[in-house]
Amino acid sequence: QPTVEDATKFIMVAYKPILSSGQTGVGRISVVGPLAIPPNVIQAVERYIQNDMASFQIAQLHNHSNKILTNDRRIIATSDKVKITNASGKKEERKDKYTGVFAVGTVRMEPLNLIVRLGQTKEKSGTYRFQCESSLQRDIIVTTLRAFATQHRTG
């Protein structure tokens, strides 16, 4: 299943029909693309950018296994910073002003998982693994965080 990581890429399929008798037909190649970010993802991200705030409740995974640590995490992002808190917002886990080590991405072999890395330096960064409820939620979170980080860096 494509993710936002696949936007602007192409899918190419090559095949050669073979009859049960072993006779082969003419090979074919089909190319589709470029892949685009779905309109509903773009619309959701645009709303968050206009409001200068996004908040996502999400399950946090253990960093070395795919076991859920807690369903009580919230990722809160603005054009200035991203922070991870508990769902009530009272306990702040970590925050970053997009100035240090900031990265967000999907996990190829785990289609509903994403990784967020926050910190001022590589040595002091924290890596968080999350499990999304759907591929739509995953794509909206990844695209929103990247958009806010880009907005922060470019002013």
Map tokens 């306990």 to a residue: 91
Report the alpha-carbon distance of residue 13 to residue 73 in Å, rounded: 40
Sheet holding 110-118: strands in order across? 92-96, 82-86, 68-77, 54-61, 126-131, 110-118, 103-107
Distance of alpha carbon 53 from alpha carbon 100, whole angstroms: 20
User: Measured between alpha carbons, how far is 59 from 68 in angstroms, rounded to an integer?
Assistant: 7
Contact status, residue 32 vs residue 8, Cβ threshold 8 Å: no
Sign of the CA dihedral with 90 first, then 71, 129, and 103 last: negative
Q: What is the pLDDT of residue 14?
A: 94
Predicted pLDDT of residue 88: 80
Distance CA(57)–CA(87), nearest Å, equals 7
pLDDT tens track of the chain, all 155 residues? 677 778 888 989 999 999 999 999 999 999 988 888 888 999 999 999 999 999 999 999 987 777 888 888 899 999 888 888 888 877 777 888 877 778 888 887 788 889 888 877 777 778 889 999 998 999 999 999 988 888 887 76
